[in-house]
Amino acid sequence: MNSGNSSFHAAADALASDGWCVVHDLLEPAQIRALAAECAALHDAGQLQPAGTGIGQLDATRRGDRTRWFAEGAMSVPQQAFADRIDVLRGVLNRELMLGLVEYEAHYAVYRPGARYARHRDRLRHSDARVVSAVFYLNEDWREVDGGALRLYLADGSSRDILPQAGKLLLFLSARFEHEVLPARRDRMSIACWMRQRSLAATNP
């Protein structure tokens, strides 16, 4: 069971001090495998769609993944397990950092070999709703030679490469960090999720 939430408290501290962190115990291995199997099956059944870049355009040279949103009220068992834990994390972040996170959105993403997502920020131009980006990786036995790191650009000009290994949850403040997905040599599966505040500046795109 994922009984302890001590890593969530540590994550809140790290978000407050550094703005980003990695959590390793979001879900059990069997739950992660169930998500990976579902993501792969949906992809193979043609149920993922080419992703846009937030300004309504498709440009596979900038963003080459295919995605499928989790549908509220119609989630599968593995998706619900993920959502339940994200909700617990959201509660901890709200209590400890007073972030006012009222909801989240999440989608599966598959990057085929060679696909990338060029350097970008997750907060959309027309909305300040996204506060915390949370990327959960589903890839068993991922090694450095497989590529596909998430490169996170830090304020001091340096960067960190995070490999998309099964079970890792990368958290970062959506407004603060530019990041990119480097091309991989094998299929790269993840759940991209954003914890959202009630948006004050939202307008229709």
Give the CA distances from residue 189 to residues 12, 36, 40, 164, in Å, rounded to whole numbers and listed in that order.
Answer: 26, 7, 8, 8
Residue nearest to Fe ion (CB): 122
Q: Which of 6, 54, 20 is nearest to 131 (CA)?
A: 20
Binding stretches for ligand AKG (CB under 6 A): 109, 117, 122, 135, 150, 164, 179, 181, 190, 192
Torsion angle defined by CA atoms of residues 70, 75, 80 and 83, in that order, rounded to the nearest 10 degrees? 30
CB 75 within 8 A of CB 69: no
Q: Which CB sits closer to ligand AKG, 1 or 71?
A: 71
**Two structure tokens written together for 198:** 């009630």
135 binds, among ligand AKG, Fe ion, none (CB under 5 to 8 A by kind): ligand AKG
Least distance to ligand AKG from the beta carbon of 182, Å? 9
Please report how close the Cβ of residue 179 comes to ligand AKG at its closest, in angstroms.
6
Q: Which is nearer to ligand AKG, 5 or 127 (CB)?
A: 127
- Tell me the residue number closest to ligand AKG, measured at CB: 150
Residue ranges binding Fe ion (CB under 5 A): 122
